[in-house]
């Protein structure tokens, strides 16, 4: 991520197509928040969005389970796919507890997210990887930055988040998500952590304060091929590639909105 602008995230918000994506996302979010069911049963929508978001994130990390299977299971430690689903569920639950810390110490939050996802006491858990350590992230097939580059870019990302600014929430969320996928700063679970960080930005920014717009649902619905292609655009660093990634993330949020709108409609009909 590089730009000569004084406020890099604001500059990214002005890329071709991005203002339209930001506006489209804002309107979609406003519509679901205006649904009559949201006024009476928002806690139920939040809970369902969390479950569906976790399912979507796990699917992108190779554990594509049916929603009802995720809903009914209680054992998430018996096999690799189950552990992935369990990690996604834990991260979704943890995200809301870290909102107050994110703007002051984003690197601390990322470390906590990795600790929660990994759920063990390994020496590489909860800290950025060091020189010589490998990464278990088979679905992200990109060149792996070395540990020094990871440290420098994480520090730069942290400074941008702490500084705040006037950038739209969608732009900030997309950049956080893309940067973490590009860096893969941890030895495992980077995709799950990146998508949870995107969720934290969307909630903490005020765009989705009740966490009812699960972008992870949209990423999963768009599919791994589209996810990888859009990420390639981000990694390219070109204006067109960056705009394509941000626009793609906007579409994922809108699909998450559509999912929660369907839940609202089902609740209204008494079917859920």
Exposed, middle or buried: residue 96 (CB in 10 Å: 0-12, 13-18, 19+)?
Answer: middle
In whole angstroms, give the CA distance from residue 250 to residue 30: 14
In 3D space, the residue among 8, 50, 34 whose CA is nearest the CA of residue 166 turns out to be 8
- Name the residue with tokens 């006024």: 39
All residues at 6 or more sequence positions from 205 whose CB lies less than 8 Å from its CB, including other chains: 169, 172, 173
Contact between 256 and 189 under an 8 Å Cβ cutoff? The reply is no
Q: Which pLDDT belongs to residue 7?
A: 62
Instruction: List, as one string, the DSSP characters of 247-262.
Output: HHHHHHHHHHHHHHHH
The closest of 151, 154, 163 to 9, measured between CA atoms, is: 163
CA atoms of 200 and 198, how far apart (whole Å): 5
Interatomic CA distance for residues 133 and 66, integer angstroms: 34
In this predicted structure, what is the pLDDT of residue 239? Answer: 92
Q: Computed from CA positions of residues 204, 76, 192, 272, in that sequence, does the dihedral angle turn out positive or negative?
A: negative
Give me the average pLDDT of each 10-residue run along the chain (272 residues): 52 84 97 95 97 98 96 88 96 94 96 93 85 90 95 95 91 97 96 98 96 98 97 94 96 98 93 49
Residue 81: Cβ within 10 Å count: 15
Contact indicator for 195, 177 with CB cutoff of 8 Å: yes
d(CA 200, CA 161): 12
Phi first, then psi: give them for residue 155, nearest 5 degrees. -65, -40
Nearest to 247 by CA among 226, 271, 217: 226
* Alpha-carbon span 53 to 176, nearest angstrom: 18
């Amino acid at each position: 991520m590089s730009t000569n602008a004084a406020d890099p995230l604001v500059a990214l918000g002005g890329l071709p197509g991005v203002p339209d994506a930001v506006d489209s996302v804002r309107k979609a979010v406003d519509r679901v928040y205006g649904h009559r069911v949201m006024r009476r049963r928002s806690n139920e929508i939040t809970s369902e969005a969390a479950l569906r978001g976790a399912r979507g994130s796990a699917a992108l990390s190779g554990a594509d389970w049916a929603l009802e299977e995720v809903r009914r299971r209680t054992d998430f430690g018996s096999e690799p796919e189950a552990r992935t689903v369990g990690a996604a569920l834990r991260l979704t639950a943890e995200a809301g507890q870290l909102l107050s810390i994110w703007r002051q110490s984003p690197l601390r939050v990322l470390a906590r997210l990795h600790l929660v996802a990994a759920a063990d006491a390994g020496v590489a858990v909860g800290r950025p990887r060091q020189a010589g350590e490998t990464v278990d992230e088979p679905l992200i097939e990109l060149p792996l930055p070395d540990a020094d580059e990871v440290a420098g870019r994480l520090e730069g990302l942290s400074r941008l988040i702490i500084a705040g600014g006037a950038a739209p929430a969608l732009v900030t969320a997309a950049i956080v998500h893309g940067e973490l996928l590009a860096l893969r700063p941890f030895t495992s679970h980077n995709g799950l952590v990146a998508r949870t960080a995107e969720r934290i930005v969307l909630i903490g920014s005020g765009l989705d304060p009740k966490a009812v717009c699960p972008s992870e649902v949209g990423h999963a619905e768009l599919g791994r091929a589209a996810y990888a292609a859009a990420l390639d655009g981000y990694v390219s660093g070109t204006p067109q590639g960056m705009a394509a990634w941000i626009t793609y993330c906007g579409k994922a949020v809108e699909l998450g909105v559509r999912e929660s709108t369907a839940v609202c409609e089902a609740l209204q009909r008494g079917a859920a």
